[in-house]
Amino acid sequence: MNKLTSLVWKLRIWKDTRGQDLIEYALMAGFVAVAAGAIMPGVAGSISTIFSKISEALSSAAAQGGAS
């Protein structure tokens, strides 16, 4: 276990925050979309369609990634 711990610290995995900003922006965009759907019911259908397409694309990418 000591070798694994030293490897993690050498690779600096714990301090790597490069993907953190992307996740924060994605969460913020999701919150804005939900708020827009709540405030403007006419937009809710479009937002639902967009999230469905994103979900399909992620599912497809996950399926292709697992096959290789």
pTM of the full structure? 0.46
What dihedral do alpha carbons 24, 25, 27, 30 form, nearest 10°? 170
Residue 10 CA to residue 29 CA, distance in Å, equals 34
Distance of alpha carbon 9 from its chain centroid, rounded?
26
- For the chain, what are the domain ranges? 40-68
Is residue 14 within 8 Å of residue 8, measured between CB atoms? yes
Question: What is the token pair recorded at 3?
Answer: 């070798």
DSSP-H helix ranges across the chain: 2-11, 20-39, 41-67
**pLDDT tens digits along 20-61:** 777 888 889 889 888 888 888 888 888 888 889 988 998 888
pLDDT in tens, 48-58: 888 899 889 98
